Structure 1
Amino acid sequence: MQLRSKRAYLPPGDDDGHRILVDRLWPRGLSKQKLGDVAWIRDVAPSDALRQWFGHDAAKWDGFRERYFAELDANPEAVAALRATLSPRGPNTLLFGTREETHNNAVALCEYLSAHRAR
């Protein structure tokens, strides 16, 4: 299974494959029509408290990942719903709304799913 992350505001690419929005909130100013054909699995997003604590501060990245992975471990139903949405054959692109492209929940979620393939 191929996983990648991409900013939701960027136009869809031919190599995106199956596109899944993994933010709790819909990206501001982006219509559903403009975003296109995407699945939205909001329950795998970090809690509001964790998202606000992190604030996309790179210095908190390791702590964010640790806390986020613990939230995902405690919410196997949401992870299972995401896994059920993923395409086993083609690429899967996890979409996020933030401008921060290297320290965000979609990047962490790709890492989590890759490390927990057997679950």
Structure 2
Amino acid sequence: MAAKHRIRLARVYEEPAPDEGTRVLVDRLWPRGIRKTDPRVGHWLPDVAPSTELRHWYNHQAELFDEFETRYTAELETSPAAEAFDELRDMVRRGPVTLVTATREVELSHLVVLAGLLTPGKGR
């Protein structure tokens, strides 16, 4: 049986938990107030983040989440997002990963979509 790796979601401003594994920032823009050498960011994959246009359209409106998920999933099928998603999937296969974002409403963010796609038996 394959090892089951955990995917955790968090804000980049939160202190890392000892057991959370690799932290991956999946925002297109670098978060305000965080240095490039900050240990709260292990890897940065900006290409896996939603496009600026999609992010502005969605604007974390709960009633648009289902459509956002559909559009964002379609974006992840195209280059360079597809390559970044494959890199992220490889990280998840190797061990626990914490997806981090500067977004205040993590539960309405692209992290939820990514975690669903990265869960074994789902996704591309």
Normalising to structure 1: TM-score of the pair?
Answer: 0.87
Matches within 5 A, 1:76-87: 76-84=82-90, 86-87=91-92
Matches within 5 A, 1:1-119: 1-36=5-40, 38-75=42-79, 76-84=82-90, 86-114=91-119, 115-116=122-123
For 1:80 and 1:41, the matched residues in 2 are separated by 11
- Where structure 1 has 5 or more consecutive residues not aligned to the other structure, the ranges are none
Counting matched residue pairs gives 116
* Residue identity matched to 1:83: R
Normalising to structure 2: TM-score of the pair?
Answer: 0.84
Which has the higher relative contact order, 1 or 2, with Cα contacts under 8 A spaced 6 or more apart?
A: 1
Identity %: 44
* Residue identity matched to 2:57: W
1:37 deviation in Å?
Answer: 5.0
Residue 14 to residue 108, structure 1, CA distance change in 2 (3 Å): same
1:54 deviation in Å?
Answer: 0.6
* Residue identity matched to 1:79: F
For 2:39 and 2:69, the matched residues in 1 are separated by 27
For 2:113 and 2:92, the matched residues in 1 are separated by 19
- Where structure 2 has 5 or more consecutive residues not aligned to the other structure, the ranges are none
